[in-house]
Structure 1
Amino acid sequence: MIVATTMTFGGMWPAFDPRGSMLEFGFPSRIAHSPEAAPVMVIGQARGTIVGLLMFIFYYRRQFQLLDTFMAVAGAYAGLVDSYVVWKQGNPRFALFRLVSSGLISAWGFFGWTAGY
């Protein structure tokens, strides 16, 4: 539920505060304050909201194996991509945080702990 909530509402944040959400994501001020970056962040994070909403649906339906699959794949892939991009933009602290937290989410899903394996 924590992952679904974070993805759902975290993905909505850029629609209301693109600059703040980009800074919290780990992007430097030069990107966060760029008007051209805001629509890209809004559109990209909308897809994260979709994944979060699907996770809520799967949880409600008690399809815990699907939740674990989402967390394993999304945690691994998004974690690597997010960390790499934030690192390349000059914020290694946020990159490391994203890598570790996404890795834990991925491991949780990989081991099937939501489904109870």
Structure 2
Amino acid sequence: MASTIFNNLSARHIPGLFIGTTLTFGGAIPFFNPAYAMREFGLPLYLVKSKDAQDAFTVSAIRTVALGLSVYIMFARRMYHGVDIILACIGTTGILDGWLCWKVGVPGRGVFRATCAVLVASWGWMGMTSA
């Protein structure tokens, strides 16, 4: 019987797969509708309406998709320690996302993003995917 990526998956892999999916597919939204993606991120309307800000947000999305794909590649290669490292790093970027939201006037979204990021980073730092 052929071995597939799904043979060794367990419940501890769910957070990593969820994050990989949201980064890969959610991260691609700015390529199609940057204003919508910026609103979903939580940025205020004055930034959402700015074409320059939309372009910068789309450029940032390229890196987001790459991070999501790197999670999938690590899963495909059964390199679960690598998934944990990526999650710890992604958590750090999420904390900075929360700070940015706070700074531009959407503190509620900022607190939510930072809290979720701490959870993701903790999962990675504790090595929960590779446990």
**Which TM-score band applies after superposition, normalised by the shorter structure?**
over 0.9
Aligned-pair CA distance for 1:80: 2.2
- Does the 8 Å CA contact 2:35/2:49 hold for their aligned counterparts? yes
Structure 1 runs (4+) deviating above 4 angstroms are none
Structure 1 unaligned segments of length 5 or more: list them.
none
Kindly report the root-mean-square deviation, in angstroms, between the aligned alpha carbons of the 2 structures: 0.8
Tell me which amino acid in the other structure corresponds to 2:26.
G
Which of residues 80, 104, 111 in structure 2 aligns to 1:64?
Answer: 80
Say yes or no: does 1:99 pair with 2:95.
no
CA–CA separation in structure 1 for the residues paired with 2:86 and 2:40? 23
Aligned-pair CA distance for 1:105: 0.4
- Corresponding position of 2:44: 28
CA–CA separation in structure 1 for the residues paired with 2:61 and 2:73? 19
Which of residues 18, 34, 42 in structure 1 aligns to 2:58?
Answer: 42
CA–CA separation in structure 2 for the residues paired with 1:2 and 1:18? 22
Q: Calculate the TM-score normalised by the size of structure 1.
A: 0.95
**Number of equivalenced pairs:** 115
Structure 2 unaligned segments of length 5 or more: list them.
1-16
Alignment of 1:72-111 (within 5 A): 72-76=88-92, 78-111=93-126
SS in structure 1 at match of 2:51: coil
Whose Rg is larger?
2
